[in-house]
């Protein structure tokens, strides 16, 4: 379909965390307001923030290295860029390790939703359930809420400001 407008990219500044296995471990948090919308948050017990993801650190790096145009360093630093044709996007990040497993992942940038899914798959998603912490606001979002938030940021044009020039 030539000339069709591509779907908006997600735009985000987040930290990925392991989601506690039981929903009872999470409590409803305050409503976060930005972009003219209200976003439900969750409160995560401090003890749960030290739980690593199920995926091994080296396995995550291997998955990242298999993505086209992904540059991942052994220390967990990563940069992923779009190809030269089509929509331009970039994601920068850093994965942290705990006892051989990924503890958390800082991600900043913009990319299409399907590429975001490919990125998450390197960290064990969808089997590994995740929480996304909005870095600037310091609040935690469930995945579905995060996806709506990231879409709204993309529509608002925030992806342009998150991409290096």
pLDDT 10s digits, 31-80: 999 999 999 999 999 989 999 999 999 999 999 999 999 999 999 999 99
Which pLDDT belongs to residue 162? 57
Instruction: List the alpha helices (DSSP H) in 9-156.
Output: 57-65, 113-121, 143-155
Which pLDDT belongs to residue 1? 44
3-state secondary structure of 56: strand
129: tokens are 């359930």
Neighbours of 108 (CB within 10 A): 17
On the question of pLDDT at 3 being above 80, the answer is no
What are 107-155's pLDDT values in tens digits?
999 999 999 999 999 999 999 999 999 999 999 999 999 999 999 999 9
Residue with tokens 């490919």: 118
Are 63 and 70 in contact by the 8 Å Cβ rule? The answer is: no
Which pLDDT belongs to residue 85? 76
What are 107-119's pLDDT values in tens digits?
999 999 999 999 9
**Model pTM?**
0.91
List 11's β-bridge partners, or say none: 110
Backbone angles phi, psi at 71, to 5 degrees: -115, 110
């Amino acid at each position: 379909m030539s000339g069709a407008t591509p779907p908006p990219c997600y735009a985000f500044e987040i930290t990925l965390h392991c989601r506690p296995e039981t929903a009872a471990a999470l409590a409803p948090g305050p409503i976060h307001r930005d972009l003219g919308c209200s976003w439900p948050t969750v409160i995560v017990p401090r003890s749960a923030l030290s739980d690593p993801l199920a995926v091994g650190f080296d396995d995550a790096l291997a998955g990242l290295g298999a993505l086209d145009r992904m540059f991942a360093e052994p220390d967990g630093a990563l940069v992923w860029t779009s190809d030269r044709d089509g929509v331009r996007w970039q994601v920068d990040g850093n994965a942290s390790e705990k006892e051989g497993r990924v503890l958390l992942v800082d991600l900043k940038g913009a990319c299409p939703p399907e590429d975001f899914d490919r990125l998450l798959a390197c960290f064990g998603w969808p089997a590994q359930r995740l929480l996304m912490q909005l870095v600037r606001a310091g609040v935690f979002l469930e995945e579905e809420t995060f996806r709506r938030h990231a879409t709204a940021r993309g529509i608002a044009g925030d992806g342009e400001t998150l991409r290096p020039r």
